[in-house]
Amino acid sequence: MEALSLVLDGFSVSLQPINLWYTFIGVLMGTVIGVLPGIGPAAGIALLIPVSYGMNPTSALIMMAGVYYGAQYGGSVTSILINTPGESSSVMTAIDGYQMAKKGRAGAALAVSAWGSFIGGTIGIIALTLMAVPLTKIALGFGPPEYFMLMALALTAVSALTGNSPAKGMLAMMIGLMIATIGTDLQSGQMRFVMGIPELQDGIGFVVVVVGLFAVGEVFIAIEEHFHSRSEIFRLQGKLMLTKEEWRRSLGPIGRGTIIGFLIGILPGAGATIATIMSYSAEKNMSKHPEQFGQGAIEGVAGPETANNAATAGAMVPLLTLGVPGSGSTAVLLGAFVMYGIQPGPLLFQSRPDLVWGLVNSMYVGNVMLLILNLPLIGLFVRLLYIPTGILLPLVLVLASVGIYAVNGNIVELYLCLLFGVLGYAFRKIDIPLAPLVLALVLGGMMEQSFRQAMTISGGNPKIFVSSGLTIGLAVISVLVLAVKFSKVISRRKNSGEVKSATI
Amino acid sequence: MTHDLPSFNRLKLTVWTSAALLMAGSASVQAQGVWKPEKPVEIVVGSAAGGGNDKSGRVLQKILSETKSAEAVVTNKVGGGGAIAYNYVSQKKDAHVIGIAQAGLLTNHITGRSPLTLSALTPLSYVGSEPVALTVRADSPYKNLKQFLDQLKKDPTSLSISVGSTLGGTNHFGIALLAKSAGVDPKKLKLLVFGGGAESVTNLLGGHIQAMSQLVNNSIPHQKAGTMRILCITSPNRLAAIPDVPTCTEEGAKVVAEGWTVIVGPKDLPAPQVAAWEKILLAATQHPEWKNYLASSGWSADYKNAKDTSAFLKEDYEETKALLTEFGLAK
């Protein structure tokens, strides 16, 4: 760990009034960006770069980092209230969060999101402060075989997301995998399923799929319900904030979400989205009432929301210790570093401790600000539920379209978004779960490339997948998860069999 | 009434024709003079915010606004290995839109990824080049290029080497030409493709691969920190940022393979507009901000005007085509 004095010196930088001000602007912008569907923290940070030319580099980076983790707070708002995730890392929150809103517990869902985000983010930064260097060593131990095994473990999570019909879940997963293959294959340079459209050469963006399936699909469903006079306003019931019971149920998921989120966040390439998937699946597997998941279980909101903020803190580890960006947003941050003439890399801690610790310590401040901002705003946000659908739906559509177009200025992406909206509508009508599709899309590409990279390294020998401690460990955990699943299925069948025989 | 119309129409026709002629006349008068940007200029980059050309674009934007040459905005048009950005620039009408181009401009056409040819853009200036660095981890048994190539001669598939984010790019050429210089068949090499320089770095540091052939900016911070060793760089001269690192030519392999950066404009730009940009860009490349950027990224400062750039690109196209055909990647 770095000398404690350097860490404490960082506070003298981050607590300067001008930096407090920039932290505030950053987290406010981040929250807004998180709420808006389509546009994400990467685009937001990129927008700030020209604005910040004359500024002190530390202040500018503090502001940009604020946008980054602030977006993780904002993304949950629209997920919970109108089933339209603002970020890809808010998709899991929408599954149970929206059901909670339907049951009148929107305030509680938003509150547990805010608290979970705060706890996950803060503990993540503490872990970053204390263990950045040893954690980097662990992260470096992840090569193609280890990534593949991690993705395989994450795929077992699909069983947690299939809902009532495993067959339909599998179908959704297959479609997701198929979509993941569209684009230029890295290893061979061949174009797959591009159909002569140049915009498809780099694949279909994840955000386009999520916004289309969830936001636009939801708009279509709501339109239909509106015309069948089936739409109801979700009235709030009970306490606006969390009840004691809900708190008690959330603490475990928050704790587990922090650990899972942070550990996955430090791996370059795996990010907040995968962290939320793993957290959700872990909570469902560990819950005594798994059937509640998908119907409004608060654990399904607490876990993922904590995980995505912890993952954001984790993603700063490879950025600061190695100068390696773990995701699109950290890549933009890295670009900003270079713009200010700061060379990120292994020597950053030694050469610019004031910058590093000023930045890290500003994140504590930022998280506190976000908590203070978001909790009272819950009362305001839930009013969103009372907006008549006739006004809300066009607004969502406009925001989604602008958000998608703002990122790449590409009209083809808007068409794709619309296509996925129709698909999302169809899926909802036939009762095919959307989450496995999202999961497969996120994991599929990485799994395939990692597999082939690993096989190239080993010259075709599959033993590489059990060749290191990490791969063996991940394999064991995957097998255990599957074994527990099977035993549950078997015992459930046995029990229903006993009931049958009793009634005869 | 009705027999007034034909004369009225003739009057209209005369008025509009003379107006059109006047405007055309004044436009051509303007073309003889000096051109200056009259509205904000768009710098189009083919990468997402934070990636490759985006950084160069933003440095350029900063310099242009500091020297008051132009107000500039960076536009990201991602996709197709730069094809979408190049297409966008090609179709614009005047020099208020410029683009930053790299090797993808040529390879896209050779590999059949994009129908866009060199004639669809006007080269404005060549602004810099970056060499490829063959890098190993600091604790690797290969202390210099010769030892590395000897190992490859013994068994070409014994070492896993990353070539960054695409086959058939400058990184690939770097290692392929080095291998060829030692008599090793480049097609037998065990090459891996990752999502970008960052993944190559983490995989090399983690020991999952033995070497990486990447543009030098990826290796410089790690060379300085002592965690990696650059065996050689494919530039004609040593770089000021890493004065202790030999060039591949010094190490016995006469290989020069550099990733170049060229500024391009839309199709068939008139000469005054090209000349205006040449002046602006020449001044920009001499600005201290640009020099700082080059130094930290490991670029070589190099400037060519529009005519020389055009000749360079034609030559590079032929060389690249020959190499890609050899690797079986050309269409």
Query: Is B230 in the A-facing interface, judged by CB distances under 8 Å?
Result: no
Measured in angstroms, the CA of B236 and the nearest CA of chain A are apart by 25
Q: What is the mean pLDDT of residues B228-255?
A: 90
State the count of interchain CB pairs (< 8 A) between A and B: 153
Residue written as token pair 């109801």: A232
Would you kindly state where each structural domain of chain B is located, as residue ranges? 41-128+260-326, 130-233
Res. B212 pLDDT band, cuts 50 70 90: very high
- Assess whether pLDDT exceeds 80 at residue B196: no
Res. B145 pLDDT band, cuts 50 70 90: very high
Provide φ and ψ at B92, rounded to 5°. -75, 165
Determine the length of chain A.
504
- What is the reported pLDDT for B15? 61
B209 CB-side CA count, 13 A: 30
Say which amino acid occupies A408: N
In DSSP terms, B45 is beta-bridged to B76
pLDDT digits (tens, 9 = 90+) for B275-326: 999 999 999 999 988 888 888 778 888 889 899 999 999 999 998 999 888 8
Say which amino acid occupies B105: L
ipTM field: 0.82
- What is the reported pLDDT for A426? 95
What single string gives the DSSP state of each residue in A82-138? HS--SSGGGHHHHHHHHHHHHTT-HHHHHHHHHHHHHHHHHHHHHHHHHHHHHHHHH
Distances in Å between the alpha carbon of B201 and those of A296, A345, B164?
43, 11, 9
Query: Do the Cβ atoms of B50 and A453 come within 8 Å?
Result: no
The interface residues of chain B toward chain A in range 295-314, judged by CB-CB distance below 8 A, are 296-297
A-chain residue closest to B288, CA distance = A341
Contact A400, A417 (CB under 8 A): yes
- What is the reported pLDDT for B6? 56
Q: How far apart are CA A336 and CA A424, in angstroms?
A: 37
- What is the reported pLDDT for B25? 47
- What is the reported pLDDT for B22? 54
Q: What is the C-alpha radius of gyration for chain B, rounded to an integer number of angstroms?
A: 24
Res. B98 pLDDT band, cuts 50 70 90: very high
3-state secondary structure A437-472: HHHHHHHHHHHHHHHHHHHHHHCCCHHHHHCCHHHH
Query: Do the Cβ atoms of A198 and B84 come within 8 Å?
Result: yes
Query: Do the Cβ atoms of B49 and A322 come within 8 Å?
Result: no
- What is the reported pLDDT for B154? 92
Q: Is B76 helix (H, G, I), strand (E, B) or coil?
A: strand
Measured in angstroms, the CA of B284 and the nearest CA of chain A are apart by 16
Measured in angstroms, the CA of B192 and the nearest CA of chain A are apart by 6
pLDDT digits (tens, 9 = 90+) for A333-377: 888 887 777 777 778 888 888 888 888 888 888 999 898 888 888
- The architecture of the domain spanning B41-128+260-326 is 3-Layer(aba) Sandwich (3.40)
Q: Picking from A19-33, A38-52, B26-40, B89-103, which range would have the lowest pLDDT averaged per residue?
A: B26-40
In DSSP terms, B129 is beta-bridged to B260, B300
Provide φ and ψ at A317, rounded to 5°. -65, -60
Query: Do the Cβ atoms of B49 and A453 come within 8 Å?
Result: no
| pTM for the model | 0.83
Q: How far apart are CA B81 and CA A359, in angstroms?
A: 34
Q: How far apart are CA A272 and CA A269, in angstroms?
A: 10
Mutate to test the interface with B, among A47, A149, A184, A456 (most CBs of B within 10 A): A456
Contact B222, B143 (CB under 8 A): no
Mutate to test the interface with B, among A49, A405, A410, A411 (most CBs of B within 10 A): A49
- At the top level of CATH, which class does the domain B130-233 belong to? alpha beta
- What is the reported pLDDT for B153? 92
Of B267, B273, B13, B282, whose CA–CA distance to B128 is shortest? B282
B-chain residue closest to A145, CA distance = B208
Res. B26 pLDDT band, cuts 50 70 90: very low
B88 Cβ neighbours under 8 A, 6+ residues apart: B44, B75, B77, B97, B99
Kindly state the percentage of chain B with pLDDT values over 70: 89
CB atoms inside a 10 Å sphere around CB A293: 22
pLDDT, mean over chain B = 85
Of B49, B64, B56, B102, whose CA–CA distance to B293 is shortest? B56
Query: Do the Cβ atoms of B48 and A331 come within 8 Å?
Result: yes
DSSP label at residue A215: I
Q: How far apart are CA A415 and CA A399, in angstroms?
A: 15
Contact A50, A332 (CB under 8 A): no
Q: Count the helix, strand and coil residues of chain A and give each as a percent rounded to the nearest 5.
A: 80, 0, 20
Provide, as residue numbers in chain B, all residues whose Cβ is less than 8 Å from the Cβ of A268.
198-199, 202
Q: Which residues of chain A have pLDDT under 70?
A: 1-3, 160, 163, 230-233, 496-504
